[in-house]
Structure 1
Amino acid sequence: MRERLYPVDPKSADRDGTPPPSENRCLKHAETRRPQFWGLRAKRHIKAGDRLWIYFKLPLGRVAAMADVEDEPYEITHDPDGFLWEFPALLNLDATRALNRDPVPLQDFADKRFQGVHGVSDADLVTFRGHAGM
């Protein structure tokens, strides 16, 4: 299992026009206990069994949800936001509730310079897990 930071851009809608994930929507999805589908530009970034720390870029820039990747990414047809791959991930209800109450702001990250999906540093993992009650 790899721990990955997964940034969400709140300005981007899903292919079907659904608004992008927000902190409140992620918590509501976690409560359904059904997998959600997430997009990728490059398949190599995610594998089944990985853990995602969901980073909401705007307006505050913070990690406020956590999910576990359930299956391998699969190729999708044209996406206006440039996503070529999609994968199912199940939001962890307890961790997402805890992070919703106590999100991790960007200023608390050890690694503040990142782009796209990437591995979480050991220092950030300690912080994320602490906020998630793990």
Structure 2
Amino acid sequence: MTEREAVADWIYILDPKRDTLDGEPSDREAIRRLAEEEPGLELWLSRRNRMKQGERLWFFFTHPEPAVAAVAEVDQEPWNDPDAPDIPYLVGATLLPGATKALYRDPVGRDELGLGQVRSVQKVKPEALPVLLARAGL
């Protein structure tokens, strides 16, 4: 098993109409700007998932056109914040500026990902990973 096979890639769903990051709307433009200016994030998770440091989060934006247009690397495994009882789990991640800029210019659409039902977080399908990596320049 290679190092890359030992880790997972995840789709993280963002709905720009209702989700915010650091008080900003979670649209493609805001995320691209954050990747350049303030790439460190703490993201909300409804369940713990088995994310590990070094895995990637591919951001799927639901509007205006459903597509992956940003990517981050997981900095630390999900944790529970006792000071935020209304948020089940958090995960630390850092946006990858170059790869996010590439995806912003040429996003990966829903059809190319083979996404069925959209949940908040799900693993990337193995057949979609080469397309994501190529578009992101990784």
Shorter-chain TM-score range? 0.7 to 0.9
Q: Which residue of 1 aligns with 2:11?
A: 5
Q: Aligned pair in 2 of structure 1 residues 52, 11: CA closer, same or farther (>3 Å)?
A: same
Normalising by structure 1, we get a TM-score of: 0.85
Alpha-carbon deviations, 1:50-76, whole Å to 9, x = none?
201100011210000000010122213
Residue number among 17, 28, 33 corresponding to 1:28 in the alignment: 33
Pairing 1:19-98 to 2, within 5 Å after superposition: 19-32=24-37, 34-76=39-81, 77-79=84-86, 83-98=87-102
Aligned length: 130
User: Which one-letter code corresponds to 1:10 in the other structure?
Assistant: P
Distance 2:115 2:19 in 1: 27
**Structure 2: which 5+ residue stretches go unaligned?**
1-6
Cα offset, 1:2, TM superposition: 1.0
- Higher fraction of helix: 1
Alignment RMSD (CA, Å)? 2.0
Quick check: which one's strand share is greater? 2
Q: 2:132, 2:21 → 1: CA distance?
A: 30
Task: Specify the SS of the correspondent of 2:49.
Answer: helix
CA distance in structure 2 between the aligned counterparts of 1:31 and 1:102, rounded to whole angstroms = 17
Residues 29 and 19 (structure 1), Cα distance of their counterparts in 2 relative to 1, 3 Å cut: closer
* Runs of 4+ residues over 3 Å off in structure 1: 13-16, 111-114
Change (3 A) 1:59 1:97: same
1:43 counterpart SS class: coil
Q: Deviations over 1:14-41 (max 9, x none)?
A: 497x133211111111112541111100
Preserved contact between residue 66 and residue 96 of structure 1 (Cα < 8 Å):
yes
Which amino acid in the other structure matches residue 68 of structure 1? E
Deviations 1:76-130 (A, max 9, x none): 3144xxx411121100111101000000111222333442211111211011111
1:115 matched to which residue of 2? 119
CA distance in 2 between counterparts of 1:21 and 1:87 reads 16
